[in-house]
Structure 1
Amino acid sequence: MKKKIRMETNFFTQVCALPRAGAWKLTINFDGEQGLLVSVLFEGGTTALAPLVFKGTAAELDSGFFGAIAAPAENTAKLFVELQAHLESLENAKNDLKNRAAAKSANAAAAKPKVEDKAEKKKRYDEIIAKAKELNGQCKYADALALLPSNEEFPDKATELDGLRKVLNERNRQLSLLQTT
């Protein structure tokens, strides 16, 4: 004896009336002669919740399924919206931290002393040499030597600095010989 299958239902119309809660996966298993086991899994993006499981006869599920699933579907839809907002706030916080770190880096770079331009460097060199010559005139050769900058600081004046260092060293040596005798 063949059962007559009813071809029209309003199942999908009722599904559309429920709140949107991500994607749904429905699994229907037969449980004995008249029983059904229906599992509904709500998924939102990469998030899945524990499935809702309904068990009953076809008539029981026809009369109670949509009433039983309405509240969980609404709560799940709200949860997924809140989860999305939370994930966005985390992303914004992460970007904010990156921006703060970049700004801090930029401020630190700006706080570093700037490279002297040629005029400032020449002026500073001339002041050092003038002071060294003044100390040389006062026979303070050791002080003048200590004041002289390294060749790396003024590579284009290395020859001049080496010559001045040589003269000051010789005079300092002579002075120390005179003081010990």
Structure 2
Amino acid sequence: MDCLFVIDYQKDFVDGALGFPGAEKLDAAIAARVREYGPGRVWFTQDTHTPDYLSTREGALLPVIHCVRGTPGWENYGQTAAALAEVGAVGIEKPSFGMDTGDPAVLAALPAQADRIELCGLVSNICVVSNAVVLQSRYPQARIVVDARLTASFDPALHEKTLDVLAGLQAQIVGR
């Protein structure tokens, strides 16, 4: 089975509290990729925090309130949000970088096997790389693919370095 994981393509990372120029330009292409994969083959993560975020370890190190459950910034962004709904994509709310911190019942519903797993979304050097590692551990025989055209960072140089790290972790980087 080939799967697509859309990582944290949420309003706060595109044009909200932690948004950055260029993140919005990924929207149409990510939405198109979601539709290409279609029903039963798409999952998405949502960075999900509570109002006490600043009292957490992550909040102490990244003191910007973002992706608080139920706020507009927590919602998926633009055309991608619509495409995810159209294909019935399954959401994984996560309180930290990796999806393995999400609801165990949702994680148990992930496919038992995968041949190829593609990741896209935000932010390349934080949650995309973290989830590539999580998925590589969960599916050691799957080919992990990251399309460089469908992910980005607030720091373009760090983005490029992250793609190099992902390649070093045996992920296939396409679209570079």
TM-score category by the smaller chain?
under 0.3
Of structures 1 and 2, the one scoring higher in RCO (CA 8 A, sep 6+) is: 2
Structure with higher helix content: 1
Structure-2-length-normalised TM-score: 0.22
Structure number with greater Rg is 1
Structure-1-length-normalised TM-score: 0.21
